């Protein structure tokens, strides 16, 4: 890639805004995922009796829906990121592209 083009992109105000917004949002999602995942792992490690309680007369325990919830949470925050990327980040990327290539 041309060094001049790299310099133009890296100093463009919309690129700096994009980089800042995307990084901040990514860190918040990372924190949320880590809390949910490690919270579940800590629950498995330190409160097995709670997770092994049966739900009703069948074989399902409390741990199964909680584990499923961790998986669903991952899908939901991924979808949330994709929606935000399609609405905000793509617009900022287009603004950078138009500003640099004009």
Predicted TM-score (pTM) of this structure: 0.81
pLDDT cut 90: percent of the chain above it: 73
Instruction: Note the pLDDT tens digit of each residue in 71-80.
Output: 999 999 999 9
Which of 80, 12, 68 has its CA nearest to residue 40?
A: 68
Residue 102 confidence (pLDDT): 75
Residue 5 confidence (pLDDT): 86
SS (H, E, C) 56-82: CCCCCECHHHHHHHHHHHHHHHHHHHH
Residue ranges for the chain with pLDDT beneath 50: none
Instruction: Note the pLDDT tens digit of each residue in 46-61.
Output: 999 999 999 989 899 9
């Amino acid at each position: 890639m041309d060094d001049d083009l790299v310099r133009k992109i890296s100093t463009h105000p919309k690129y700096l805004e994009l980089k800042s917004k995307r990084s901040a949002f990514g860190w918040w999602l990372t924190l949320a995922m880590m809390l949910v995942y490690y919270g579940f792992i800590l629950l498995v490690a330190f409160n097995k009796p709670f997770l092994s309680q049966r739900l009703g007369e069948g074989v399902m325990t409390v741990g199964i829906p909680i584990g499923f919830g961790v998986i669903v949470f991952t899908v939901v925050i991924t979808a949330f990121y994709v929606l935000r990327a399609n609405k905000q980040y793509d617009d900022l990327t287009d603004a950078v592209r138009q500003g640099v290539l004009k």
